[in-house]
Amino acid sequence: MTTTYNHMAMPRILDIPELLDTIFSFMTDEDNVANARVCKRWSNVALDVLWRELHDLRPLLHLFAPFDSTRVSIRFSRPLLPDDWKRFDKYSCRVRRLIVDSKTNLESYVNPEVFDEIARTRPRLEILPRLNTLSWGLSVSASVVFMHKNIKHFEITLPIDMIHARFKPSAFLPSISARMPNLESLSIFTDISMKVIEEEACALIRSLPKLKKINTPRFYFTTRVAEELARLSDLGVIEFESPNAYIEDIEIRGPADIRDFAPKLEDGAFPSLYDFSSCLPFTIAADSFENVFPPRNLTALYLDSPDFEESASFARIISVVADNCPLLERLTLNSFVQARESSFEPPPESGPGLDFDALRPILRMPNLTYLELHHHFPFDISVKQMEELASKWPSLETLILNNDPLPHDGTRQPLPLEALMPFARLCPRLKLLGLYLDATVPTLPLALDAVPFKALETLSVGVSPITDSGAVALFLSKLCPLGCELEKGVTWQETEHEGVGEDVACICAAWKKVEELLPLLTKMRMEERERTRQLKAEVEDLRMRTDVLMAKLPPATKDALGCTPF
């Protein structure tokens, strides 16, 4: 009976389309091509999986007509016919996500005439009617062919030379809302300054009332853009992308675009905002949070200042955030400059750094699980103060405290390696820890029963000075779990600081040796702990056996033997 039941149950299970879809989604394209040939039921599900997400236009274009083999670039060998569209429709309704970028190098293959032919002969506006995500990094004008009202997520890359081309951003941006009015997320990647397209960008934001997420270049959160975004009732996420390069041109984006940030907002601005990332000077951000739009509902905040912030402004933004963001779970404050104006003055090598009093307001945010702070001076914190910090956040998962400061005069010393111990003992969920450590002095020997990290996956040491790699690896082997990665290096550009590259290279080379030694030493520590545990268990077992035997002996015998229990 059982054999018959299982034999009949298996086909019924494999008849469930949702289950088949889940199974096929974990298979390779080659496997699903074979699955599509098994039977009609499997064919539809397998084809749905195969065509659901496309990262290459060529299979899609090949559905229309053969390519002209005599041309270098892809062109159709003949004009498209109605029958071509019927064949195309069998697959076009299966495409949900079309993600094509410049990395596929398709611009050298697909001739613009192909998109013109598709646009001229299409029987309907929606070429891919069930498409909900369009990410486009090729010719901007070609993306218009795939736009329609059912698309909810759109990413576009606007090349810098577009401002001089025939199809300018001012002509393209209005087509986004006109053809895709129901967008819920919008991402724009470009090196064009917001000042060049601000009018069209603001009009675009106004015409997308369902927008829930927006991702723009680094300096696009200007006064006018903030005023428009503040009116969107469903907007929950504001993000920015760091620039790939900084080109010195009047039309290229830069810090000047956000220097005059002073939006005038109505009551109830940003009603749904919970994740906010922006590039603003800390003084401007602090004034806005206090006086313009208190971000009471924020759970994630990322502020990347275009300036080297003074310690006073850094301390102020920490205090303002602690007072105005009671629900905050993730906080990142970064005062480094990755792409700057040529006239920018470098930071001084000496000056007051942040002490624990400046960081103390953070302790009023008990919900934090992610904290990352970067400043050009090392923090002035003691091991005892680090223990106080660790004791307040048992749920902390990521902590990066300025592990890669810029070169300085040496008056502020890094933390000793012992500063790791409070986090190992008090933060059991910690997965990523980044500290500026002093690995040049002898460390105190750790006891065999020292509490190691329970969940640590990455220890980020940045540019922590180090001399004896073997001694440091021996110390860390008592704290780090097996498989813990050691991360070293800088987040700032070494070429911007003369003579620093060689020093950083030497530091990274020394930590590389620690990284090579650590797995073997950690494994030895684990075996040592296991042997110690077994010995303790054997001693405890002997103790119990002795106590039982002693309990059975009469008192006179015990006295005669002179035995006493453990």
C-alpha of 397 from chain center: 14
3-class SS letters over 295-331: CCCCCEEEEECCCCCCHHHHHHHHHHHHHHCCCCCEE
| Among candidate residues 60, 27, 61, 63, the one with its CA nearest the CA of residue 46 | 27
**Average pLDDT along the chain:** 83
Distance in angstroms (rounded) separating the CA atoms of residues 331 and 125: 44
Q: Which residues touch 241 (CB under 8 Å, ≥6 apart)?
A: 187, 189, 215, 216, 217, 218
Q: Is residue 497 exposed (0-12), middle (13-18) or buried (19+ Cβ within 10 Å)?
A: middle
Question: In this predicted model, which residue has the larger pLDDT, 51 or 266?
Answer: 51
Question: In this predicted model, which residue has the larger pLDDT, 502 or 544?
Answer: 544
pLDDT in tens, 463-503: 899 988 888 998 898 888 888 999 998 776 544 455 556 77
Q: Are 181 and 208 in contact (CB under 8 A)?
A: yes
Assign 102 a pLDDT band (cuts: 50, 70, 90): low
pLDDT reading at 13 higher than 90? no
Question: In this predicted model, which residue has the larger pLDDT, 410 or 140?
Answer: 140
Q: According to the model, what pLDDT value does residue 501 have?
A: 63
Assign 137 a pLDDT band (cuts: 50, 70, 90): confident
C-alpha of 250 from chain center: 31
Task: Tell me the average pLDDT across 170-174.
Answer: 89
Structure tokens at 537: 């268990």
Q: Which residues touch 218 (CB under 8 Å, ≥6 apart)?
A: 240, 241, 242, 243, 253, 279, 304, 339
pLDDT reading at 323 higher than 60? yes
Q: According to the model, what pLDDT value does residue 251 have?
A: 39
Task: Tell me the average pLDDT across 452-471.
Answer: 92
Task: Tell me the average pLDDT across 233-247.
Answer: 73
Structure tokens at 13: 């299970």
Distance in angstroms (rounded) separating the CA atoms of residues 62 and 71: 15
pLDDT in tens, 265-306: 888 889 999 999 998 899 999 998 988 887 889 999 999 988
How much is the pTM?
Answer: 0.83
